[in-house]
Structure 1
């Protein structure tokens, strides 16, 4: 492997391939591309796959590509993000690969930091970093909470422990070796939400995740985000995917216990029963007809899914109870 360079040595043999699926993102394309062009590290190609946009996205890309030969444009041979990502991967010429989304921005120094970190890491390593949400309007409390949670996971390296809680890697905020992604099937056969399923594929194939302590993604929040408007990214879609992967990657076959009786707990119970998994709901309060949460110690080889996320003092009480009884997060219990 040749050493990564700050300057682009040969445009036909870039060190890094950036890949971006695009659909009707004309309002943000220029700023996104400019944030890449302003990076210190410039030995890259940027592969854009247009997913049949009906706005001016394709025109803008073609105009920008005339001025920068590192920008390469293709049309999605299918429909949707997964097909677009696979087309981009098929066209990659770089040794390293990183995804970027058309409405987001790269902070200064992102590429140099991520490339250097991966170059110094062993095989089967994924590098990610911290995120910072921004918006032209007021950012909701929910997005601020998710940003804090994700950055905490990344900073502590607690990816496995939180695997079934939420997606532990922001979709446009990772870098890996191109041939290693191709070796595990690329984006083919992923299920939506595809960014979350890719993380499961990494874990299934023995990859390790490493988080940088700096912000490597400026994540734009706006009403037109696909994650807001597509049913592929609904709460039920996330639950169906992560519980299916739980049964494949972590389930021991002896039944599942769920702490909680609310909406998330009932949804998880329903999906797991569809998958043929015996499920027991357990209440945090004493309720007739339900096991109390403290009875978890009475089960042989319990596998606990925690479908409640109470305020910090109560959360610490619950986790202290589990740790006192030799439960390990990411091995014996997981938060949903």
Structure 2
């Protein structure tokens, strides 16, 4: 059996399509566990109705809002399947997704996870904007510097491995999957294989999926980035990989700069979030050369002009 876990919060316009993509699977030995995080837009009522029609769907509702990581962990606690896939309420699976993934795992019993290709779309799944093909080389440095080798729903996991890791860290308001995958690679010696090819899952990017305001979103992102840096600094340093963590701070800083330039946050909010972000170096200290790169990135990204390749060069320099 494959256990599919959906953490759900206010996705009423998309959750039925997500469920339908599970029900349409050619592989039929599955269970769908939906953990509702106290939705207020009618999402809970929709999934309850779906569960009444399909015995393979189970719905759990939190007593209070606990966040996506709590929901995923609660889903894991309720699973009966041999394999686990984490899935979001506004995304989609191809009809062959489970069949392809289970076959791959059965053919390679030594691996903890198989990682598959994802398609990115806006409104129509038949119009894929780009493929997110998983990377096997330098996967750990990729996560540390936020050049992400794969996304949450691309892996299929053996349930025993998920149990071994202890699941998702519930302290993280953002970067939850990045933290989990980093920990799996860095501390739990994840054995995985990538299976590039046509996408078997689809990530939605339409604006209507967002149910948060920009300031709250960025505050959570900064909090997650700081937690991430501090959690993995010493383990990464032992492997001489700590320089890559600068990439996560750089990526977060780019989010702040973009939002400020687009006038989505005030100057005061930008200043406060920037200060919170760069307090991360209190325990380790950025060398002067890295501080200069951050300053250059801030100056350049607030200019009205753009020069192709500048941000890419700065991002590479920050992790050298």
Q: Distance in 1 between matches of 2:277 and 2:67?
A: 30
Superimposed CA distance per residue, residues 132-176 of structure 1 (whole angstroms, 9 cap, x where no aligned partner): 111139xxxxx96xx56x53xx14544123122324331222211
Q: Distance in 1 between matches of 2:183 and 2:231?
A: 9
The counterpart of 2:69, out of the listed 73, 77, 82, is 82
The counterpart of 1:225, out of the listed 204, 210, 221, is 210
Q: Does residue 1:159 correspond to 2:139, yes or no?
A: yes
Q: Distance in 2 between matches of 1:283 and 1:185?
A: 35
The counterpart of 2:192, out of the listed 209, 230, 248, is 209
Q: Distance in 2 between matches of 1:112 and 1:198?
A: 25
> Structure 1's 22 and 126: CA in aligned 2 closer, same or farther, altered over 3 A?
same
Q: Specify every segment of 5 or more residues in structure 2 that has no aligned partner in the other structure, as ranges.
A: 255-273, 297-307
Count residues in correspondence: 276
Task: Give the strand-richer structure, 1 or 2.
Answer: 1
Task: Give the helix-richer structure, 1 or 2.
Answer: 2
Task: Answer yes or no: is the 8 Å Cα contact 1:76–1:83 preserved in 2.
Answer: no
Superimposed CA distance per residue, residues 261-290 of structure 1 (whole angstroms, 9 cap, x where no aligned partner): 9956x889934422x11321327999xxx9
The counterpart of 1:281, out of the listed 284, 288, 292, is 288
Q: Does residue 1:25 correspond to 2:11, yes or no?
A: yes
How far 1:256 sits from its partner (Å)? 5.8
Equivalences for residues 1-336 of structure 1 within 5 A = 15-78=1-64, 79-123=66-110, 125-136=112-123, 150-151=132-133, 154-155=134-135, 157-166=137-146, 167-189=148-170, 191-193=172-174, 194-203=176-185, 204-214=187-197, 215-223=199-207, 224-225=209-210, 230-231=216-217, 235-252=221-238, 270-274=278-282, 276-282=283-289, 311=309, 334=319
Superimposed CA distance per residue, residues 164-213 of structure 1 (whole angstroms, 9 cap, x where no aligned partner): 23243312222111122112212354523211111122112111332221
Which stretch has the larger CA shift, 117-126 or 209-218?
117-126
* TM-score normalised by length of structure 1: 0.68
Q: Specify every segment of 5 or more residues in structure 1 that has no aligned partner in the other structure, as ranges.
A: 1-14, 138-142, 291-309, 323-332
> Structure 1's 241 and 232: CA in aligned 2 closer, same or farther, altered over 3 A?
farther
Superimposed CA distance per residue, residues 276-323 of structure 1 (whole angstroms, 9 cap, x where no aligned partner): 11321327999xxx9xxxxxxxxxxxxxxxxxxx729x85xx98xx9x
Task: Answer yes or no: is the 8 Å Cα contact 1:243–1:271 preserved in 2.
Answer: no
Task: Answer yes or no: is the 8 Å Cα contact 2:67–2:173 preserved in 1.
Answer: no
SS at match of 2:281: helix
Which stretch has the larger CA shift, 167-176 or 249-258?
249-258
SS at match of 1:277: coil
RMSD between aligned alpha carbons?
Answer: 4.0
